[in-house]
Structure 1
Amino acid sequence: METALYLLPVTLGETPIERVLPSYNKEIILNIKHFIVEDVRSARRFLKKVDASVDINSLTFYELNKHTLPEAISDYLRPLADGHSMGVISEAGCPAVADPGADVVAIAQRKRLKVVPLVGPSSIILSVMGAGFNGQNFAFNGYLPIDPAERARRLKELENRVYQENQTQLFIETPYRNQKLMEEILHVCRPQTRLCIAANITCEGEYIQTRTVKEWKGHLPDLNKIPCIFLIYK
């Protein structure tokens, strides 16, 4: 196995590993002893899910999240510089995509250390695939503002980009605020604008539906506390 910083995708929920991750990923994981992770507990759980025989106590974990000091991140790559492969694991999906893992990947690139992204599920890509929207020009915008007035303005900005740039717009919300966001989309956006609601992607109860704003009114699903991604297009 080539020495590198391996970006290791994680299931998006309790989906069986074999449904969404190739067996090659397991081969790589079992040869790595140093992991940069968003959360140590969930990373340990994922590794045990990959192979129950993994000796967790023999592994070294470096936590990388919003609480990690920037000056600490560079030191995390010391094992890689010394010739030991490392893995990056996020909470769900692909590391370094809407994920703090991007910071350590940027450092690896600056240091000319080899980076290898592995295949796995991305809610962003899978939702674009399932929406029926423009897959050649799209933008992921992360979380919208919490303030209602600012959020309404941002929604209008994104909708204008849909019509002016022919660009699919994606965004997410904290799961317990899904219902409120869906209601605001229906209030702010044009009746003919299409909204795709994609929830529990690759998991039990997967829900991916596209309708116009007008068609959604009075028919919104109950997706409170369920991981969702929202897409709008003309």
Structure 2
Amino acid sequence: MTATDTFFQPNTAINTQPNIAALYIVATPIGNMSDISARAINTLNKVDIIACEDTRTSGKLLSNFGINTQTWAYHEHNSEIQTPKIIEMIQRGHSIALISDAGTPLISDPGYQLVQAAHKAGIKVVPIVGASAAIAALSVAGLPSDKFSFVGFLPAKTHGRIKQLEQYANRTETLIFYEAPHRIIASLNDMAAVFGDTRPATLCRELTKTFETVKKATLSELAEFVAADNNQQKGEIVLVVGGDVNNKTDDDSAHDKLLLRLLEDLSVKKAAALASDLTGVKKNALYQRLLELQDK
């Protein structure tokens, strides 16, 4: 914990028109500094405290825009201690912003515990929208974007990674993964093994930065591409993978009447299995459709 974590000093020099007491979730650039919004700069200037994943990393961003607001470290290792302190500060009438090292907070970054605590305490939570690597990658991937699932980081070890990939093998929506550069080759090879060599995917690396890469190909082709170029094994990486087209029906609702009838007497799992036998549609696709029907 740094000295600024311990003592609160109101930002009176800049806070001439302070925001209302609230928790502000502020998106920051994922690379190109020009991507920060005017509203984000204004908010970071006016709040009393900025909670940062890493005060040194965020310090460079804040310095670039001449923002002198006091910072507190807030990360997964101190969240249990800092969360109640931040909630107490807001309850006393202060405004606090949460930022991550880059992009939108809580997307594979710390912050869930704090936002949850704010809602529980009846504190207003305000989104200050902006860059997100996952959505940026989806927008340029050239893959269906009407339905997608954000998976985030896969397990570091091979066994755990393959086990999780198998859970998504028959999903029909586009999948978005984050991956560390030192695991990118292993992950691509595992994806090709589980999803199939020819599954379409897009490698998005260092988005908005100088050496940005957006490469669309099959999983096996991407594995070869990355293995042949050490530069592709560096930086921030997002993988966007197409869904299993063989699992899609011409009309998701084509078998709804049958599924709903079976569900009256059977569990979701058994209904999906029997419907698969009767229709020839893959069981996993029917299982997912049953879950959707239950939510309606």
TM-score range, shorter chain: 0.7 to 0.9
Q: 2:63 aligns with which of 33, 37, 48?
A: 48
Q: 1:159 aligns with which of 152, 160, 169?
A: 169
Q: CA RMSD, aligned part only?
A: 2.0
1:20 aligns with 2:35: yes
1:62–1:76 CA contact under 8 A, matched in 2: no
**Does 1 or 2 have the higher relative contact order (CA < 8 Å, sep 6+)?**
1
1:96–1:105 CA contact under 8 A, matched in 2: no
Match of 1:109 in 2: 119
* Runs (5+) with no aligned partner, structure 2: 1-17, 244-296
Deviation at 1:87, TM superposition (A): 0.6
Distance in 1 separating the partners of 2:241 and 2:140: 13
For residues 179-216 of structure 1, the C-alpha deviation after alignment (integer angstroms, 9 at most, x for no partner) is 33223333433133111111111111211222123543
Match of 1:79 in 2: 89
**Number of positions where the alignment pairs a residue of Structure 1 with one of Structure 2:** 222
Letter in 1 for 2:149: A
Aligned-residue identity in percent: 23
When normalised by structure 1's length, the TM-score is: 0.85
Distance 1:217 1:63, change over 3 A: closer
When normalised by structure 2's length, the TM-score is: 0.69
Match of 2:108 in 1: 98
Q: 1:218 aligns with which of 220, 224, 233?
A: 224
For residues 99-147 of structure 1, the C-alpha deviation after alignment (integer angstroms, 9 at most, x for no partner) is 2112211111111211111121100111111112232321111221222
1:177–1:225 CA contact under 8 A, matched in 2: no
Letter in 2 for 1:74: P
For residues 66-104 of structure 1, the C-alpha deviation after alignment (integer angstroms, 9 at most, x for no partner) is 211525412222221122211101011011222211221
* Runs (5+) with no aligned partner, structure 1: none
Which structure carries more helix by proportion?
2
1:159–1:233 CA contact under 8 A, matched in 2: no
2:108–2:153 CA contact under 8 A, matched in 1: no
Match of 2:286 in 1: none
Deviation at 1:2, TM superposition (A): 3.8
Match of 2:266 in 1: none
Distance in 2 separating the partners of 1:152 and 1:112: 41
Q: Which deviates further from its counterpart, 215-224 or 4-13?
A: 215-224
Match of 2:4 in 1: none
Letter in 2 for 1:149: H
